[in-house]
Amino acid sequence: MACHLRQSISLSTFKHITIRARIAQFGVRHRNLKIWIKAALFLNGSIKINILFRKTFLSIGIAALILTAIGDSIYRNWIYSNNYFDFGLANYLPSITGTISAVFLLCSVSRNFPGDIVKSASSVIVGCALYEMLQPVFRTGVFDWQDLIAVLLTGIVVLLVFKAFSKKTGT
């Protein structure tokens, strides 16, 4: 009976009065079950929040990845072919959106998410900066100091957002 009671309570949300009625019906001690219910609701709530945050981070990462592809190909070609002046955005837009996509995608699959989000994001940002500096070695591009500054500034903004997020959620 206790197992049946635990399943019915953990699968639905009862108000306090309904929980007391169920407890009286099954003859279970109120104090022990109340502690178990609080623990179950907290655990289920934190799992739901974790999954929601992971899906949100994954969605932001995918959207930024799509913007990176668009900025690297369509936008850059359109700016160059029409000879527009966009303050160099066509050159370093992929660095900005690429950093955002890398941080959000890699943090969303991290084991310690959202607990060590600032530490994970910092590691990804350092990796993005190293990649920008090592592009001539890997023969994937040329070193451009504006790209490096774009990566670092984007990383600082993302870290500030993550620190505010961590303080707000208490993780």
pLDDT, averaged across the chain: 75
Banded pLDDT at 44 (limits 50, 70, 90): very low
The predicted model scores a pTM of 0.66
Q: Where are the domains of the chain?
A: 47-169
Look at residue 171 in the predicted model and tell me its pLDDT: 59
Tell me the three-class secondary structure of 65-134, residue by residue. HHHHHHHHHHHHHHHHHHCCCCCCHHHHHHHHHHHHHHHHHHHHCCCCCCCCHHHHHHHHHHHHHHHHHH
Look at residue 155 in the predicted model and tell me its pLDDT: 93
State pLDDT tens for residues 91-146. 889 999 999 999 999 888 877 776 778 888 888 999 999 999 999 999 988 888 99
